[in-house]
Structure 1
Amino acid sequence: MTTAAERLSATTLLRFATAGSVDDGKSTLVGRLLHDSKSVLTDQLEAVATASLSRGQDTPDLALLTDGLRAEREQGITIDVAYRYFATARRRFILADTPGHVQYTRNMVTGASTAELAVVLVDARNGVVEQTRRHAAVAALLRVPHVVLAVNKMDLVDYAEPVFAKIAEEFTTYARELGVPEVVAIPISALAGDNVVDPSANMDWYGGPTVLEHLETVPSSHDLTDCHARLPVQYVIRPQTAEHPDYRGYAGQIAAGVLRVGEPVTVLPSGRTSKIAGIDLLGRPVDIAWAPQSVTVLLADDIDVSRGDLIVPSGDAPATTQDVEATVCHVADRPLTVGQRVLLKHTTRTVKAIVREIPSRLTLDDLSRHPEPGQLVANDIGQVRVRTAEPLALDAYADSRRTGSFLLIDPADGTTLAAGMAGDSFASTAEAALPAEDDGEWDF
């Protein structure tokens, strides 16, 4: 007989994020989801009940289960990304509750960057608004494969089917224009619990799944074993013991794909080739390993491999480049400007770089592009061209969200400036001449 722990370990994992305009009820939905799925401890409920009473509320405010910062509770809004972990008998979940304010767009990008599903909330009284379109565009930009439209507060529109149908049609049409592959629309009342965990008795015209039912059954796409195999080297291990005098292993977490003993591999950016002579997993040799396992790979040849290098199958090696074109979301308060010197961090490799051009800034409301903005400020999403001091082996973000993404970092203090997606489809196709070479220290 299997134990509860064994059954839980066998369930699949789904990472999902919530998004929506202010007061659309995201935190209440998350609280209801946790409460009705019995994923909240008794002392947590007691703390929420006490906090609710102190605010003059007769019933527990389930939104307080996720709005954990004092500023969030005082203002009644979500400010930062709140991560919650819970499980049902069918699946484990990592939930990112993201803010709704436009000035926290960067926080939504953070929360949705690893999500396989996004729940976009809409107030049934207001319908699709500007921030709804913005969140749909961000989900499309980040290649989130599944989107749920949760039309909330149906109790305030008398559970009217025509109201839901109109909103669902408008949002689905817009999402398809963005290239979102799948949208599932669900009418809910997070406050009353309709169609969140249990089916609603007030909307017998709806025959689809509840929010939790869809979350439990939607195909999980976090399995990276079908992607291009990539191992960013984090450490070079040379124990130099009497038992293993010649041991030289290259350790790291497999970012994507599958590695096998005997497989020909190429080390990038140098281009040197060898074969996998062995794979150590948790201190034991194995013949095969896959993402996201952390392993140590031994090569048949004594070649120069160091931290930041990328080990890939020889028949599936990405091209290296020093000219990176990407879409970035600017997350720092200080602007990103043309000619700025930055550090670019891709997997375990960090190199010097210069922002050579900012061809356009994306307007998320209508997906138009503002040409040559000169700079990007906090929450801006735009197209950049960056020249790096050393070659990088980036995949297109459309092919791999792990090895197609990178960070731009301020070299002065280590502040993260922007999160980038290489070769993204939102990129402008217009080619423009790069600015003249700068005579500064970082010319390359």
Structure 2
Amino acid sequence: MTQAITEVRDGEDVEHADLLRFITCGSVDDGKSTLIGRLLYESKLLYSDQLAALTADSKRHGTRGADLDFALLVDGLAAEREQGITIDVAHRFFATERRRFIVADTPGHEQYTRNMVTGASTADAAVILLDARKGLLTQTRRHTHVVALLGIRHVVLAVNKLDLVGYSKAVFDEISAEYRAFAAALGIGDVACIPVSAVEGANVVARSERTPWYEGPTLVEWLESVEVDDGASTGPARLLVQWVNRPDDTFRGFSGRVVRGTLRRGERVRVLPGGHESTVERIVTMDGDREQAVSGHSVTVVLADEVDVSRGSVLAALEAPAEVADAFQAHLVWMDEHEMLPGRRYLAKFGARTTGFTAEHPKYRIDVDTQAHLPAKTVRLNEICVANLHIDRPVAFEPYRACRDLGSFIVLDPLSNRTVGAGMIDFATRRTANLRWQALTVDKRARGVRNGHRPCVVWFTGLSGAGKSTIADLVEKALHAEGAHTFLLDGDNVRHGLNSDLGFTDADRVENIRRIAEVSALMVDAGLIVLVSFISPFRAERALARSLVESGEFCEVHVDTPLEVAERRDPKGLYAKARRGELANFTGIDSPYEVPRDAEVRLDTTAMSAEQAAEAVLAKLREMRVLGNY
């Protein structure tokens, strides 16, 4: 019989050997929440007021008649109670005398794969439930695939609802054999299979007399005894810096968490990604200095030398430092309603460091049911893909399977800052140590001086038929007359050559603008005033174009024409085709146009002629000192 379990409560001083984080997952109605509720109940984990609330909730929302519905202890959301399913990740903390636990009850529905990934990302072990009457289902396989992908190597299969098949040993043995073979094919070698009945409490905490043929551990005994070693406690030291600690001018330390290995006083370390070397002079904690700090400890490190260390840096053992790169192959899990668009600039948060990044077209999308590799141009909500990533600046990293903390990142939308995805690094595709900027004698400023004006991108955006190309042509004509060195990139013209391989899906539109943004930046380096006339419907890509040049070298011009006016002009007959359904993904009809918020120039073409609009752009360029002495 396992030791009595007690819930971890604020203010209690309970010491335990270690902490196990685990998840529960399974198909809908397999009994995940009931299992956790039964575990807490039978282990005397509930206060009297919690029992009273459970009794009342069971009467109002329960599915067990007059009996307690243990699932309600975990299913806290109103929507879950009404539907009888889990849609969020519910966490619970408890402890035995042998171990502390954090359990995450994750959703069973396919559309909540992102929630399961969230719960599994920090888990050391997984409890996968299935209904003994149904055997292995698609969801069972899907969850096992995700568990394997996220590097969880300790799995227990809880064959639940065994009471509904008469506690049949034959049923249990058949399911266990099938699952072990399936898990082994995914590289999961440590699999325990336990016959349970969450409703009746069989083999959850106490052994059941109904399964005399089963000689293995109960679920709690397995959780107490499973040995988890993810490699974090071994290997070379890594400390992820969260904060530069300078309370006064006499102390400068670097606060953070040791994410791998053991950091010792007197050890030589390398600061990454910078590469400076120093020695650990002190390891400071609230309880005084230590001689060493092991994986999981949060400490402040004082170095012997004045070296450049900032938030997000990694202090790594000198003899075996982490890698540094700015391009990776990674697994991406997409968590947003809006699909991931290759070439679009997102933000990636690596530990405490945030940097911009773009993803190439996915190499493949993973079918989480079969593990098959499927072709994909984009990645949608709850999908997982493998793609190459390019980030704005080098970061220190480890492959995800070697170190979760240095091998994982979250993806943020740069405009809203909401989390839209998560990633796991496989390996670097380009080492920054092998690349250097080539120094050039003739630079952008030298070319600008020769040309007699500052280089600049003048970016015309607006609906089809707004008049962008007409106005841009008039502006270039005037600039040319003044002796300026210019080049006009027009959307239609470019699609005849450089971008002839692209269509008009959102993904292709993003790539279309990404290429033009890069070309525009090169032309600015050449000292030119480059005029760009593209619909460019998305703010994110226009922001990318702006970010590629220096401040004062980008002028966004919104050619603001109402849809009905542009459609009435319809010089190419495109709106008419779009209305007839002959032209898909047409901006303003069935594809959105995101109006600029802070354009340098807004041209209301219903109130001014093309010539007046061109003069307004030229006036702005003079105000920005693009024209005149340089």
TM-score, length of structure 2 as denominator length:
0.65
Tell me, what secondary structure is at the counterpart of 2:185? helix
Alignment of 1:244-323 (within 5 A): 244=250, 247-282=251-286, 284-323=288-327
Q: CA deviation at 1:54?
A: 2.1
Tell me, what secondary structure is at the counterpart of 1:8? coil
Gap runs ≥5 in structure 2 = 1-5, 428-510, 519-544, 550-630
Q: CA deviation at 1:6?
A: 9.6
Q: Match for residue 67 of structure 1? A: 75
Contact 1:233–1:252, Cα closer than 8 Å, also in 2 = yes
Q: Match for residue 112 of structure 1? A: 120
Query: Which of 6, 14, 18 is 1:8 aligned to?
Result: 14
Which protein is richer in helix relative to its size?
Answer: 2
Amino acid at match of 1:111: G
Distance 1:268 1:353 in 2: 19
Tell me, what secondary structure is at the counterpart of 1:302? coil
Q: Match for residue 123 of structure 1? A: 131
Amino acid at match of 2:405: R
Amino acid at match of 2:227: P
Q: CA deviation at 1:442?
A: 5.2
Tell me, what secondary structure is at the counterpart of 1:357? coil
Q: 1:116-153 CA deviation, whole Å, 9 max, x = no partner? A: 11000010110000000000001101111210000111
Q: Match for residue 412 of structure 2? A: 409
Contact 1:37–1:88, Cα closer than 8 Å, also in 2 = no
Q: 1:254-308 CA deviation, whole Å, 9 max, x = no partner? A: 2222111111111111111111121211162222112222211111111111112
Distance 2:381 2:265 in 1: 46
Structure index of larger Rg: 2
Contact 2:16–2:98, Cα closer than 8 Å, also in 1 = no
Distance 1:238 1:23 in 2: 53
Amino acid at match of 2:77: L
Contact 1:331–1:418, Cα closer than 8 Å, also in 2 = yes
Q: Match for residue 229 of structure 2? A: 221
Tell me, what secondary structure is at the counterpart of 2:405? coil
Range moving further from structure 2, 16-25 or 40-49 = 40-49
Amino acid at match of 1:226: T
Q: Match for residue 20 of structure 1? A: 26
Are residues 335 and 132 of structure 1, via their aligned partners in 2, closer, same or farther at CA, if it must alter by over 3 Å? same
Contact 1:354–1:386, Cα closer than 8 Å, also in 2 = yes
Amino acid at match of 1:311: L
Distance 1:103 1:48 in 2: 29
Amino acid at match of 2:398: D
Distance 1:329 1:300 in 2: 41
Amino acid at match of 1:37: S
Q: Match for residue 388 of structure 2? A: 385
Q: Match for residue 183 of structure 1? A: 191
Contact 1:358–1:382, Cα closer than 8 Å, also in 2 = yes
Q: CA deviation at 1:441?
A: 4.2
Q: CA deviation at 1:404?
A: 0.9
Amino acid at match of 2:415: A
Contact 2:361–2:378, Cα closer than 8 Å, also in 1 = no
Range moving further from structure 2, 80-89 or 50-59 = 50-59
Alignment of 1:41-60 (within 5 A): 41-55=47-61, 57-60=65-68
Residue 89 (str. 1) matches residue 129 (str. 2): no
Query: Which of 336, 359, 367 is 2:363 aligned to?
Result: 359
Q: 1:141-168 CA deviation, whole Å, 9 max, x = no partner? A: 1111210000111111111111111111
Distance 1:394 1:441 in 2: 29
Q: Match for residue 209 of structure 1? A: 217
Range moving further from structure 2, 275-284 or 313-322 = 275-284
Q: Match for residue 400 of structure 2? A: 397
Distance 2:304 2:343 in 1: 43
Distance 1:310 1:20 in 2: 38
Query: Which of 321, 340, 344 is 1:340 aligned to?
Result: 344
Alignment of 1:96-175 (within 5 A): 96-175=104-183
Contact 1:330–1:336, Cα closer than 8 Å, also in 2 = yes
Distance 2:363 2:60 in 1: 52
Q: 1:69-115 CA deviation, whole Å, 9 max, x = no partner? A: 11111110011000001112222111101111111111111111111
Distance 1:235 1:203 in 2: 54
Are residues 206 and 133 of structure 1, via their aligned partners in 2, closer, same or farther at CA, if it must alter by over 3 Å? same
Range moving further from structure 2, 282-291 or 13-22 = 282-291
Contact 1:39–1:87, Cα closer than 8 Å, also in 2 = no
How many residues align structurally? 426
Distance 1:55 1:388 in 2: 49
**Sequence identity of aligned pairs in percent?**
45
Distance 1:353 1:129 in 2: 38
Contact 2:138–2:369, Cα closer than 8 Å, also in 1 = yes
- Tell me which of the two structures has the higher relative contact order, counting C-alpha pairs closer than 8 angstroms and 6 or more residues apart: 1
Q: CA deviation at 1:7?
A: 8.6
Which protein is richer in strand relative to its size?
Answer: 1
Distance 1:207 1:283 in 2: 46
RMSD of aligned residue pairs (Cα, Å): 1.9
Distance 1:223 1:386 in 2: 26
Contact 1:152–1:189, Cα closer than 8 Å, also in 2 = yes
Contact 1:354–1:442, Cα closer than 8 Å, also in 2 = no
Are residues 400 and 340 of structure 1, via their aligned partners in 2, closer, same or farther at CA, if it must alter by over 3 Å? same
Contact 2:205–2:220, Cα closer than 8 Å, also in 1 = yes
Alignment of 1:405-444 (within 5 A): 405-423=408-426, 439=518, 440-441=545-546
Q: 1:203-243 CA deviation, whole Å, 9 max, x = no partner? A: 111111111111111113368321432112222122335xx
Range moving further from structure 2, 54-63 or 152-161 = 54-63
Alignment of 1:322-337 (within 5 A): 322-337=326-341
